[in-house]
């Protein structure tokens, strides 16, 4: 069971759009040194939707080699095609990933039984745990509460990244949290509310630019200092909102570049920020002490 701040890591690119592995290595070392508790590669923030299967595998392999068991590594192996998700999941398990993040079947969506079998087909055939990923704003579909209840009982499904932004839904599925099924916040503006429901931490965009602060926010809660945890949540709230003033990961990559991290640009259809939104981001970064 992974607890704490898990960074939903960006994928750095060269000017020609290819993966910048040297920069990826620098980011990984920075996160480990800053107290990040786990690394997620190939999530939404990692732009895996515009990367080839070969690039995805190379990123997972490189990350595992670089991290070398110092912190857990989660690989995003999700797809709207169950067969593809199974193939990628098996491969990342062979490479040595500690867990897999698997998303609901976007676009084709599926009925309730199809949704459940989308996940159990993989969970039945891989040797490492699965974390479900519920983000209806991206996928156009959501896991029902009853589906989460059924899936939480599978011995190889260890948790859910809840990114609906719906606190009522989060409360409903928090009833299934136990020693074998964890709840992770998928929204940086809801870390403390999810922790209060028995959450195990956050899979975070904020941690890309603020690894230590995001770790400290979660750790303070686990240490019993809820006041400090809430203070940090509120202190960074405006900056968190600025990180989502355009579609993720455009603002967070822009923020890292402004910090001098030189992580590169994006692949279409992602495109650099509008000037007004960039100005808003810069202002909030200054307030947060990042510039």
Residue 103: inside a domain, yes or no?
yes
Evaluate whether 227 touches 13 at the Cβ level (below 8 Å).
Answer: no
Residue 182 and residue 203: Cα distance in Å, rounded? 12
List, for residues 243-252, the tens digit of each pLDDT value.
Answer: 999 999 999 9
- CATH classification at residue 18: 3.20.20.70
19 in helix, strand or coil?
Answer: strand
Active-site residue flag, 161: yes
List, for residues 11-21, the tens digit of each pLDDT value.
Answer: 999 999 999 99
How many domains are contained in the chain? 1
Rounded to the nearest integer, the mean pLDDT of the chain is: 97
Residue 172 and residue 233: Cα distance in Å, rounded? 23
- Point out the catalytic residue in the list 161, 253, 261, 278: 161
Active-site residue flag, 280: no
Residue 241: inside a domain, yes or no?
no
DSSP 157: E
**pTM value?**
0.95
Query: Which segments of the chain does DSSP mark as H helices, in order?
Result: 21-34, 53-67, 82-95, 112-123, 136-139, 145-152, 167-174, 191-196, 211-222, 226-235, 237-242, 250-258, 275-287
Note down the domain range covering 83: 4-223
Cα distances (Å, whole numbers) of residue 209 to 30, 212, 259, 269: 10, 9, 8, 23
Residue 95: inside a domain, yes or no?
yes
- Per-residue b/e over 250-278, b at no fewer than 16 CB within 10 Å? bbbbbbbeeeebebbbbeeebeebeeebb
- Point out the catalytic residue in the list 133, 184, 236, 239: 133
Residue 81: inside a domain, yes or no?
yes
Residue 277: inside a domain, yes or no?
no
Residue 218: inside a domain, yes or no?
yes
List the structure tokens of 111. Answer: 């009925």
pLDDT confidence tier of residue 1, bands split at 50, 70 and 90: confident
Residue 157: inside a domain, yes or no?
yes
List, for residues 159-202, the tens digit of each pLDDT value.
Answer: 999 999 999 999 999 999 999 999 999 999 999 999 999 999 99
Residue 262: inside a domain, yes or no?
no
């Amino acid at each position: 069971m992974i607890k704490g701040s898990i960074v939903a890591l960006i994928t750095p690119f060269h000017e020609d759009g290819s993966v910048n592995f040297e920069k990826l290595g620098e980011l990984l070392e920075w996160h480990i040194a800053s107290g990040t508790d786990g690394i997620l590669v190939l999530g939404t923030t990692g732009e895996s939707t515009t990367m080839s299967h070969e690039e995805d595998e190379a990123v997972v392999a490189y990350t595992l080699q670089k991290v070398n068991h110092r912190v857990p590594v989660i690989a995003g192996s999700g797809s709207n095609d169950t067969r593809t998700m199974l193939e990628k999941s098996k491969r990342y398990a062979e490479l040595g990933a500690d867990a897999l993040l698997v998303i609901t079947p976007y676009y084709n969506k599926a009925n309730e039984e199809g949704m459940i079998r989308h996940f159990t087909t993989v969970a039945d055939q891989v040797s490492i745990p699965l974390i479900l990923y519920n983000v209806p704003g991206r996928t156009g579909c959501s896991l029902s509460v009853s589906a989460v209840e059924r899936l939480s009982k599978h011995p190889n499904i260890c948790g859910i990244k809840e990114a609906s932004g719906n606190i009522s839904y989060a409360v409903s599925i928090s009833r299934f949290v136990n020693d074998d099924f964890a709840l992770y916040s998928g929204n940086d503006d809801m870390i403390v509310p999810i922790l209060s429901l028995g959450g195990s931490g956050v899979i975070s965009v904020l941690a890309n630019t603020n690894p230590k602060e995001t770790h400290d926010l979660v750790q303070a809660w686990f240490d019993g200092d809820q006041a400090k945890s809430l203070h940090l949540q509120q202190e960074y709230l405006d900056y968190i909102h600025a990180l989502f003033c355009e579609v993720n990961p455009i603002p967070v990559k822009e923020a890292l570049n402004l910090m001098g991290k030189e992580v590169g640009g994006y692949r279409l259809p992602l495109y650099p920020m509008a000037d007004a939104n960039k100005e808003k981001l810069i202002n909030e970064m200054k307030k947060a002490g990042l510039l």
